[in-house]
Structure 1
């Protein structure tokens, strides 16, 4: 019987990589375990591995598992991996095959509905990944993965930002508002899906931000401002989080969800916000040469276009 791990071993040097490199051929035992690993290599992708005949049959999925039946994702069939890979995580050295950081995204069991050279139908039962999927071979050597069951997922909100209405003075009921700096930058909505964002076409430095989200979907609202001579993306709202639209949630809830993401990098940060503190924030804006402040009603939903729930007050 052919050694199913021969190709796997040929790509790896056990003295140079922490990956498991078993010397003996795999047994023919058959189980039903699976693992999905998040792999930050030359490009972010997810490795789906299904136990079959003593090995883990593997596909690299650049955008992760599809969330609904409307979209198929590319799945690159790779070499079979040893069973020890079910629990492998760590840093594969740079320069080695697959060099980069690998973490376990999910693990569990699966049920096989069909397995052929051209089509694999299965049901995943994991903590994060569950449902019916099919891997199917297209022309040539390419494969795709399709989700066969529906999953409730809100669509991304339209890419139209909420805009403040200008007024000369802060509102009288300051306790109903959060007060933030008006940065004087350029507004930018950042959709993130599959560790990627279309905003990186114009701002390539946002690729790192998108990768840090892994498979988590999001849409962030902010603006690109020049601070200390460098362009910084300042975030102040979260419109979509992990399959759920937040536009109908009150601002206080969206703000709490944004802060929970703990976004802090060399080129992006979460804007500070001060509920009920109009005077000190406006004074600080004047001292820093900023154009003004924005008052945001804590109970307001996200309304694309001009809104009286957000107020721009000049310095």
Structure 2
């Protein structure tokens, strides 16, 4: 009987990687375990592994499992992995095959509905990954993965950014608003899905921000401002988070959800916000040479285009 781990073993040196490298061929088995690992290698991807005949049959899925049956994701069929990989996590040294950080994203059991050389249909029963999926081979060596259940998340919002209406003075009911600096930058909505963002086409430095989200989907609202001679993404709203649209939620709730993400980097930051502090924030804006402040009603939903719920007050 051929050794199903021969290819796996040939790509790894047990003295240089913490990965399990069994010296013997695998024993036959009939288990039904699966694992999905988040793999920050040369490019972020997720590894789906299904127990089959004593090994873990594996696919690398660059964008993760599809959440919507309308969208198929690429799944690259890789070498079989040993059963010990069900619980493997750690740092594979750079320069080694698959070098990078690997964590267990989900694990559980699965049911096989069909298994052939060209099509694998399974029902996953995990904590984060569940439902019916089919992996199917396309022309050549490529595979795709398709969700057979209904969508498990709200559709991504596609809309124009919410814009403030200019007023000469702060609102009288200041306690109903949060006050933030007007940065004088260019507005930018940043959709993040599968560790990637289309905004990186214009701003390549945003790739690292998207990768930091892992499998978490989001739509961030902010602006690209020049601070200290460098472009910085200043974030102040969250329109979509982990499969759920937040457009109808009040601004105070969206803002709290944004802060809970703890998004921080050398090129991006969450803008400070001060509920009810109209005078001091406006004075600070003048002192820093900023164009003004924006007052945002704490109870306002997100409205595309100009809105009287957001007010620009010149400094």
Q: Which residue of 2 aligns with 1:151?
A: 151
Q: Which residue of 2 aligns with 1:83?
A: 83
Structure 1 vs Structure 2 CA RMSD: 0.6
Counting only pairs closer than 5 Å after superposition, residues 119-158 of structure 1 correspond to structure 2 as 119-158=119-158
- TM-score norm. by structure 2 comes to 0.99
What is the alpha-carbon distance in structure 2 between the residues aligned to residue 119 and residue 157 of structure 1? 33
Deviation at 1:57, TM superposition (A): 0.2
Deviation at 1:211, TM superposition (A): 0.4
Q: Which residue of 2 aligns with 1:198?
A: 198
The question of 1:102 aligning with 2:73 is answered no
Counting only pairs closer than 5 Å after superposition, residues 299-310 of structure 1 correspond to structure 2 as 299-310=299-310
Structure 2: 5+ residue stretches without partners: none
SS in 1 for 2:67: coil
Deviation at 1:151, TM superposition (A): 2.7
Task: Say whether the 8 Å CA contact 1:164–1:308 is kept in structure 2.
Answer: yes
Q: Which residue of 1 aligns with 2:62?
A: 62
1:64-92: CA deviations, max 9, x gaps?
A: 00001100001000000000000000110
1:121-144: CA deviations, max 9, x gaps?
A: 000000000000000011111110
SS in 2 for 1:109: strand
The question of 1:43 aligning with 2:43 is answered yes
What is the alpha-carbon distance in structure 1 between the residues aligned to residue 276 and residue 100 of structure 2? 46
Deviation at 1:209, TM superposition (A): 0.4
Q: Which residue of 1 aligns with 2:270?
A: 270
What is the alpha-carbon distance in structure 1 between the residues aligned to residue 100 and residue 171 of structure 2? 52
SS in 2 for 1:175: helix
Q: Which residue of 2 aligns with 1:16?
A: 16
- TM-score norm. by structure 1 comes to 0.99
Structure 1: 5+ residue stretches without partners: none
SS in 2 for 1:257: helix
Task: Say whether the 8 Å CA contact 1:159–1:189 is kept in structure 2.
Answer: no
Q: Which residue of 1 aligns with 2:228?
A: 228
Q: Which residue of 1 aligns with 2:163?
A: 163
SS in 1 for 2:262: coil
SS in 2 for 1:135: strand
Deviation at 1:152, TM superposition (A): 3.8
SS in 2 for 1:69: coil
Q: Which residue of 1 aligns with 2:29?
A: 29
Deviation at 1:277, TM superposition (A): 0.4
How many residue pairs get matched? 315
What is the alpha-carbon distance in structure 2 between the residues aligned to residue 64 and residue 167 of structure 1? 46
